[in-house]
Amino acid sequence: MTRAAEGGGPYDRKGVNIMRTADIRRATKETDIDLTLCLDGGEVSVSTGIGFFDHMLTALAFYAGWGLTLTARGDLEVDGHHTVEDTGIVLGQAFAAALGDKKGIKRYGTAFVPMDEALCRTVLDLSNRPYLVFDAPMPQPMIGAYDSCLTAEFMRAFAFNAGVTLHQKCEYGANAHHITEALFKSLGLALKEAARIEGTGVTSTKGAL
């Protein structure tokens, strides 16, 4: 079951400024996720049942400049995989819906984030051509109750459902917590840059994204 979204750019037909928003619910036998996203700011409230993942999503929303309300109930008695991956799916769908026709956006974004000994890079294109290159080995398998390999699963689910070409690399680092946090924060900063409104046309020589 899905409750889908409204979006389509920052201005209506009369030139009145509107917020880029999306509202989605996705329920399966494994997860039930309710999400409201505003690309132009607002309160952030996240509850997934996985404390570290909540922390990462909150950081992502903060650095992206989003308003985000997200509640996820998943089969955590199995593990966190379905919850993390399905959250990436829904967040990606909401991001794409909130962007709308992409008119006026910068399109490209790049960010480096250091965290103690770790340095991570995110480069992305809101191209509607989903792809993920993820090069960030995790030195420790677990971060609290969060399986560190799930970061790649979240990024893949987000990129493919948002229509984003996403490249992420850990330049160096020895602590999985620091690496993962730098990846989420750099994703937020790069998305904020790429979604920024700079004009009225589509940033593409083809005339469409």
Examine residue 81 and state whether it is found in any structural domain, yes or no: yes
Examine residue 205 and state whether it is found in any structural domain, yes or no: no
Question: Is 70 exceeded by the pLDDT of residue 188?
Answer: yes
Least confident interval from 12-21, 132-141, 166-175:
12-21
pLDDT tens per residue across span 48-107 = 999 999 999 999 999 999 999 999 999 999 999 999 999 999 999 999 999 998 888 999
Confidence band, pLDDT 50/70/90 cuts, at residue 207: low
pLDDT average, residue stretch 152-168: 98
Question: Is 50 exceeded by the pLDDT of residue 17?
Answer: no
Question: Is 50 exceeded by the pLDDT of residue 15?
Answer: no
Question: Is 90 exceeded by the pLDDT of residue 9?
Answer: no
What is the extent of the structural domain holding 88?
2-195
Examine residue 207 and state whether it is found in any structural domain, yes or no: no
Identify the CA nearest to 167 among candidates 122, 130, 129, 137: 122
pLDDT of residue 203: 64
Examine residue 206 and state whether it is found in any structural domain, yes or no: no
d(CA 161, CA 157): 6
Examine residue 124 and state whether it is found in any structural domain, yes or no: yes
Between these two residues, 198 and 149, which has the higher pLDDT value? 149
CATH number where 189 lies: 3.30.230.40
Which residue in the block uniquely carries the two structure tokens 């904020």?
192
How many domains does the chain fold into?
A: 1
pLDDT tens per residue across span 123-156 = 999 999 999 999 999 999 999 999 999 999 999 9
d(CA 190, CA 201): 20
Confidence band, pLDDT 50/70/90 cuts, at residue 208: low
Distance of CA 117 to the CA centre of its chain: 24
CA-CA-CA-CA torsion sign (55, 56, 58, 63) = positive
CA distances from 194 to 75, 76, 96, 124 (A): 34, 34, 13, 8
Examine residue 208 and state whether it is found in any structural domain, yes or no: no
Q: Is 18 helix (H, G, I), strand (E, B) or coil?
A: coil
Examine residue 203 and state whether it is found in any structural domain, yes or no: no
Rg value, the chain, Cα: 16
Phi, psi of 60 (to 5 degrees): -55, -50
Examine residue 204 and state whether it is found in any structural domain, yes or no: no
Average pLDDT, the chain: 91
Question: Is 60 exceeded by the pLDDT of residue 8?
Answer: no
Residues in the chain, overall count? 209
CA distances from 157 to 38, 87, 168, 198, 199 (A): 19, 8, 14, 28, 29
